[in-house]
Structure 1
């Protein structure tokens, strides 16, 4: 779990945070980390509220109007704060993650192909470079649950209590961090580690990992 200090969220620049998520969505689609409207992105804008991409939003076509504002006050409902777009059907993944991780400022839910395939096949994603070790820490894996369900959100949130990255078998990943840029670095390194692991497996290597896997975690 990241040791990031919890910030004064009363001074967050909502416009800048939305712009950062818009840029992440465009780049993630361009890199093939998610297709069309499959993933969802969020950022905490106060101690009690977070913004999440709206239902059906294509992540490479986001605008400032593509986000729903939800409350963190209630354990279950995540009720909208005001009249606005309907939140992503996966809003619970974000709601429960923030409640499990008070230090998290951003949650990214993407569908990185190689990471999901390895996790679904029961193959551990290995950290093979310094960046993998530094940005990722131990990678959690959870079993398959259907989209939008409490089981999916609750098991992912429980895994995120002690990890910054979780891969949900046959589905996708969620990463958390103290800011949008760090969350996206983790998402990028997760898929890079998965691709490196797949290459190592193709070369016949089954167990090599970064030689000093006690590297300080970001």
Structure 2
């Protein structure tokens, strides 16, 4: 069993990584690690994740009460505690604002295409949890709908959240999420993603099971390939123009293609 100091040192290291990668700015984001069913180490409010030291971290209970430390907890701690309450398998939670993934969250476009083998095996599709006011129960309530099916979430007009059996797993899911978002955006600018076939997805899911990858994965809703957790249907929103998000994505891709063609001409 790892000591509290080792856990706190790892939290500071992951804080530096998400800061240096530009996943957070200023004092954004928060990280928690489960110690027991009623003890969690958490990053404090008002501190840059790139400049934390172990003595700044606080230990809280399942109700958010401070057990150790002199700093105040983040107002978004409720979101983390809801995850631990509803997902006993989760040992760590990372919340950040990776720019490209957050762009998808702001645009209201879920990352639900099955295109990259690595994302299919280690991440799964990524839904959008409906908007909630920060520091209230609105965000945990919106997130709760998806917790039993996914390990990575876009938070509408807010950012992203990833969970894992330990902190490194949760962090790597955040890295994979942003990488997946960047590639998805590039593919859409080039005319759209080409999804893998049901047969190809099935083989990748077999690999996931073979390597016993922990966590939730909704599987493929198109071909009913079994995942780990039941998929939640993500309803597309219709904006004032009358187009749904899939239609808008296709329109944006076509307009971008034509603009690039004109620039080349």
TM, length-normalised to structure 1 = 0.87
CA RMSD in angstroms, aligned pairs only: 1.7
| Map of 1:124 onto structure 2 | 110
| Map of 1:5 onto structure 2 | none
Relative to its length, the structure with more helix (as a share) is 2
Shift of the alpha carbon at 1:150? 0.4
Shift of the alpha carbon at 1:140? 2.1
Query: The residue matched to 2:120 in structure 1 has which SS?
Result: helix
Shift of the alpha carbon at 1:210? 4.2
| Map of 1:46 onto structure 2 | 36
**Partner deviation per Cα, 1:107-127 (whole Å, 9 max, x = no partner):** 000111111111322323234
Q: Provide the rounded CA distance (Å) in 2 between the counterparts of 1:127 and 1:112.
A: 21
Residue 22 of structure 1: which of 1, 12, 16 is its match? 12
Tell me whether 1:181 sits opposite 2:179 in the alignment. Answer: no
Q: Provide the rounded CA distance (Å) in 2 between the counterparts of 1:86 and 1:46.
A: 20
Uncovered stretches (5+) of structure 1, i.e. residues with no partner = 1-10
Query: The residue matched to 2:93 in structure 1 has which SS?
Result: strand
| Map of 1:171 onto structure 2 | 158
Q: Tell me if the contact between 2:105 and 2:158 (Cα under 8 Å) persists in the aligned partners.
A: no
Q: Provide the rounded CA distance (Å) in 1 between the counterparts of 2:105 and 2:71.
A: 33
Q: Tell me if the contact between 1:133 and 1:210 (Cα under 8 Å) persists in the aligned partners.
A: no
How many equivalent residue pairs? 203
Q: Provide the rounded CA distance (Å) in 1 between the counterparts of 2:9 and 2:142.
A: 30
Q: Provide the rounded CA distance (Å) in 1 between the counterparts of 2:23 and 2:115.
A: 20
| Map of 2:201 onto structure 1 | 213
| Map of 1:31 onto structure 2 | 21
| Map of 2:120 onto structure 1 | 133
Q: Provide the rounded CA distance (Å) in 1 between the counterparts of 2:172 and 2:196.
A: 18
Which stretch shows the higher mean deviation, 132-141 or 162-171?
132-141
Query: The residue matched to 2:145 in structure 1 has which SS?
Result: helix
Tell me whether 1:107 sits opposite 2:93 in the alignment. Answer: yes
- The alpha-carbon distance between structure 1 residues 65 and 83, as it changes in their structure 2 partners (threshold 3 A), is closer
Q: Which has the larger radius of gyration?
A: 2
**Partner deviation per Cα, 1:118-149 (whole Å, 9 max, x = no partner):** 13223232343221112211212112111111
TM, length-normalised to structure 2 = 0.72
